[in-house]
Amino acid sequence: MNEIAKKPITRRFQRFALVGYFGLLILMPLWLFVLAPREGYSLGFVFVVYVLPLLLPLKGILQDKPYTYAWANFVVMFYFIHGFTLLWTSPDELLLVLLEIGFATSMFIGCTYYARHRGQELGLKIRKLKEDLADEKAAHEHKES
């Protein structure tokens, strides 16, 4: 699948995605288990809520699958929400919060455009609903005649 060479812009967006992804993957456990553990929450709960979601796209990212980069954006939205919430409620953790928002931003932008550019390079295409409806209509008209 990945025999087709990546253009420089595609590689650049992949680097953005990887910096953001692995940055979050390192930051979140370090922050929540070492630097500022969450009192009142079990380690298992913190792991499941804050770290486990980041592990879901790991295999596809390591295998360089554009589709994984695309859906990983659903995962990173949680870290945006978390970061912007803490920006408002926890000014004492400002540096860590800004790192989280920065990594989440890098991952989001990188994943979005890497999936787009790499998908185009590989000839992957998501059909538009309009095309599907036109094909369905043509097939239906063909059956009637």
Choose among 63, 62, 59, 64: nearest CA to 118.
Answer: 64
Q: Are 12 and 111 in contact (CB under 8 A)?
A: no
What confidence tens digit (pLDDT) does each residue in 9-60 have? 899 999 999 999 999 999 999 999 999 888 888 889 999 999 999 999 999 9
Six token digits for residue 22: 């692995």
pTM for this structure? Answer: 0.81
Pure H helices in the chain: 8-29, 43-46, 52-55, 58-62, 66-89, 94-121, 129-144
